[in-house]
Amino acid sequence: MLCKRKFGIGSDRDVRIALLYSHTERGFFKSAKQDHGLVFRKIETGIRQCNAGNLTLFAMNLVELGKERPGHLLNLFSSRHGKLAFGQDVSPKVLGVIQHVYECLFKRRNMKHEDVKNLPGFTRDMNEIRRRLLQGYSTEERLEGISPEEIRRRLSPEEWLEGLSSEEMDRLRKILEQKRH
């Protein structure tokens, strides 16, 4: 409730809760379903999602995610934080934010709102945060899970054709001619 008030979130549907863990008791997810009606479905390696009323919960296995994605920021919150390494594609601004969070979490430095607010590259603009996060993923990763039909619906016919080579255009013409007959 305090988070919703502080960040001006009006609806529970806009809230996401991340449960970070390295180990669970045997039968934890089965018990969550039987005892509390919380059904966690695996959506990808190391991540399970549960829709509980208007809230969405993500259970994130830090061990699995760390093995699958050694450079992922979630490793900051696991025992693997010392092994976290980034490629050259991470900007100095992002590294500055990561360094600050790391120091606050693991060097027990007190984090103040003013400290975070004044970091280079800090923004509250969710569209900008989303854009920055997406930059770190390849095109294939960003399109993962989106069907070809969804992609086609988002593009105009002119956008489909943009950038096609002459060979691809010829192939497309032949396909269209065959469909007409």
Q: How far is CA 104 from CA 20, 31, 83, 172, in A?
A: 18, 35, 17, 56
More confident residue, 111 or 154: 154
- In terms of Cα–Cα distance, which of 70, 54, 62 is closest to 19? 62
This prediction's pTM: 0.46
User: 47 forms bridges with which residues in the sheet?
Assistant: 44, 60
- 14: pLDDT strictly greater than 70: yes
Quick count: other Cβ atoms within 10 Å of Cβ 75? 19
- In terms of Cα–Cα distance, which of 149, 152, 151 is closest to 140? 151
pLDDT class for 10, splitting at 50, 70, 90? confident
Tell me the pLDDT tens digit for each residue of 97-151.
666 566 655 555 555 555 556 666 667 677 777 777 777 778 887 788 888 888 8
Domain ranges of the chain: 1-69, 86-145
At residue 21, the pLDDT reads 86
How remote is the C-alpha of 115 from its chain's centroid?
25
Q: What percent of the chain lies above the pLDDT cut of 90? A: 8
